[in-house]
Structure 1
Amino acid sequence: MKKMMMIAAGALLAVSLMACNSGPTCESIADHVMTVAKGEMQKMLEQLPEEQRKQMEEQMAKEFTKDKIVEECKKENPSKEAMECVMAAKTMEEMGKCDMKGKEDKAAEETKSEG
């Protein structure tokens, strides 16, 4: 019985460690993008007249959602390096420099440029 408990505990530890080392996920990317973007947008919104600010906030709430960012991330299928680049970025400008195209997209681009 003790041996089975030790094996189960070891397996649980291994799974936990693998999860920690797996790198960023589209969900963590979305959380980070939302946090950075909202911070930057808040500064810009403060400079707008109240009516314009309210309109922008409403539009952002509809169009800029975590689900949409996760969906786009999964569609792009970015490399681990690209995802780490986004997670390290402190501004939207820095995020824009990260190559979020997936392997399939890169292969297609290389084929186009060769032909």
Structure 2
Amino acid sequence: MNAFGIRLLVLAAVAALACPAPALSGSPNWPDHIAIGTASPGGTYHVYGEGLAKILTRVLDLPVTRETTEGPVQNIELLESGQAKLGFVTVGIALAAWNATGVWAGKSPAR
């Protein structure tokens, strides 16, 4: 994907998130906050997580925090344990978690 395509994709994602949506924060089973697993400070996921947290906080009318992590492996572990509702991961790590290979060999597949 070229630079124009990436910019277009990011613009579409931001536009979709910025659209007004009914606040569900008063609904049953709605979380009181959302944590996003990112990565170490200075990394791409950390920066993206900060921006996403700001947008989601505004759109959902709900506190959304960026959690500093060691990266995709820890983000999947946080998602699996319920400590995070969102997390940035790479495709290779996600595939290994899904298939219970690599770091996840001998464990239940991540879902």
TM-score tier, shorter chain, comes to under 0.3
Which protein shows a greater Rg? 1
Q: Which has the higher contact order (CA 8 A, sep 6+)?
A: 1
Normalization by structure 2: what TM-score?
Answer: 0.24
Normalization by structure 1: what TM-score?
Answer: 0.23
Higher helix share: 1
